[in-house]
Chains A and B, each alone.
Chain A
Amino acid sequence: MRKEFSPLVAGLVVALIAMTVPVWLGGYYVQLATRSLIISMVTMSFVLLAGYSGMVSLAQMAFFAMAGYVIGVGVKTHQSSFAVAIPLAVFGATLLSALFATVAIRAQGNYFLMMTLALAQLFEGVAMQWASVTNGYNGIAGIPRPVLFGRWSLQDTTPLYYAGLVCTAGCFALLRHLLGSPLGLCFRGVRENPRRLAALGFNVQMYRFIAIVVSGAVAGVAGVLGVFQSGVIAPHTANLQSAVMVVMAALVGGVSRLEGAILGSFVTVFLIAVTSSLTPRYWMIVGAIFTAVVIFLPNGLLGKRLRRKRRDERLVDRPASADGLAK
């Protein structure tokens, strides 16, 4: 038997490292790690759609921003309590994703991508123009953060990190469970061959709708934490560059795995942070790296390894590289 690298041991090591990050890293790096965790939730929501259901969505950051706006408007403008605002924010993001889904599931492939981009851009436009609610270009700043159990304020670096860790782990476990369930199998069927699935009597459009709504909820959770980290929500949160960051994170990690989404998010967030501290031209460099990833690394960092999976698993878990998605 080939020496297998045990997922259990790897998982324990990762968990141990993740739980002790604030002990051995400085404040700034903990903040970056928190940011990475938040982005990794959005990226997982992207991977759920792109890698498992064959829909490349550029609208995930719009769901993220929607949750942020609900928190901003609710807590800052209307002084509502967090117990009300947080569920409402996730609900708002889910609702927006349902609205986008009703329009976008009619399209496939590149057309779907284009549709989600148009919807996300329109969302950004609304956030920009509807100034009496969203405060226009500047957005809503100085949003307060909750204090958990009367002890840990999420304004502080370490509690927020652990909140991010718990939420990321929760989303990961939830999505993993979901993808392993019969519903998850249907998602993959939608990716592999929608026509055959439809011929077998499955309602393909319904599964695509469900996938988008679930992804919207996950992105919404990330959006809540995102606004707790920055304290600001503005239209540019939903812009194309943010969407590209998510796509990049997914591509770097390999579109076909949830673990890849997390790894890719860490790589991407740290990469952007490092380059932006070195040069004001960092978007040029990030863009060049993104381009290089698309050209040279279509399967991502974790993608190649997938080919070595057990055969029975491979039957349903064919690698969905950016390349494989394109059919």
Chain B
Amino acid sequence: MNNTFLLIMNGLTYGALLFIVSSGFTLIFGLMRIVNMSHGVFYILGAYVSYTVQSKTGNWVVGTLAGTAAVGLMALIVYQLINRVNGDLPRTLLTVGIAMILADFCLWAWGGLPLTLQAPAQLRRPVILGSFIYPGFRSFVLVTAVVIGLALWVLLHHTKFGAIVRAGVDNRWMVAALGINIERIFALTFLLGGLLAGFGGAIGGSYLAFGPGTDFIILTYALVVVILGGMGSLAGSAVGAVVGLVDSFGRTYFSELAIFLLSGTLILVLAFRPQGLFGRPG
């Protein structure tokens, strides 16, 4: 029983992290039709910058903010590059090239060994719920994901920016034709995606080791979440929770075949709902 509780919680916290990372990914895709292949690298870049700043200043919060900001800046640079080419596909391929450059840069700058960030002691205090004890930091990730989800929901559904983004997801050309500077909205969305990925890296790096290769793993999981959930749908990225659960149980009970389980889920869902669980048929 206790074991099952732990598995559920681990699955949910991993799902929470996946939600943070893939919400930006899905917004970028939904609005700009670009698969941002550098999203996984954004994650580890956030974690690495946090690591360096944290070891210099000794402060986790400062490190996390620095990692988030650095990736936000990087996202704006990448956006400028993307803006130089036309067409959704060349843009996507461009992000592949950028991902390769950045991944190799990270390997060069921070070496090939896995690292972890040291979360502050206040956040690591275990949470005790009756007879259940759960690591404090993972609970913090769970709460953070819920807060971010709510904040994004408010942003998307109760601000002018959000209304424009939602309209853009449906028809970006129409939005542009209405006199809205769609490129600025694209840039802001890209920035938002970058900030979320960088923050995800800093948070995720504080309890899961990261290193070369983590970027591909994160990218894969973000892809699976977004495909399962449906493109451009915030609710869809909450499907990350399901992916986290499948992954958590799979790893425990079918250690060799956890990925089979994940692929099976993906194929099964797509067989019945090609547009994903929360996507609209396009």
Contacts and interface: CB of A to CB of B under 8 A. Distances in A.
Given A110-B35, A294-B94, A322-B93, A284 B263 contact: no
A103 B224 CA distance: 13
A206 interface: no
Interface string B234-271: 00000000000000000000011111101100110011
Contacts of A244: 96-97, 100
A125 B250 CA distance: 13
A284 B100 contact: yes
Contacts of B16: none
B84 A295 contact: yes
B33 interface: yes
A44 to B, nearest CB: 19
A122 B266 CA distance: 10
Contact of A129 (B92, B108, B258, B267): B258
B97 A291 contact: yes
Q: How large is the interface on B (under 10, 10 to 19, 20 to 34, 35 or more residues)?
A: 35 or more
B220 A118 contact: yes
Nearest to B86: A323
B89 A281 contact: no
Contacts of A115: 227
Main secondary structure of the interface of A (DSSP, over half): helix
B220 A298 contact: no
Contacts of A283: 100-101, 103-104
Contact of B255 (A56, A129, A251): A129
B104 A110 contact: no
Interface in A3-48: none
A117 interface: yes
Contacts of B267: 103
A287 interface: yes
Contacts of B34: 110
Contacts of A251: 93
Given A117-B223, A121-B223, 18 more contacts: A103-B267, A103-B271, A106-B274, A110-B33, A118-B224, A121-B220, A125-B220, A126-B259, A126-B263, A129-B256, A251-B93, A283-B100, A287-B101, A291-B97, A295-B84, A298-B90, A322-B89, A323-B86
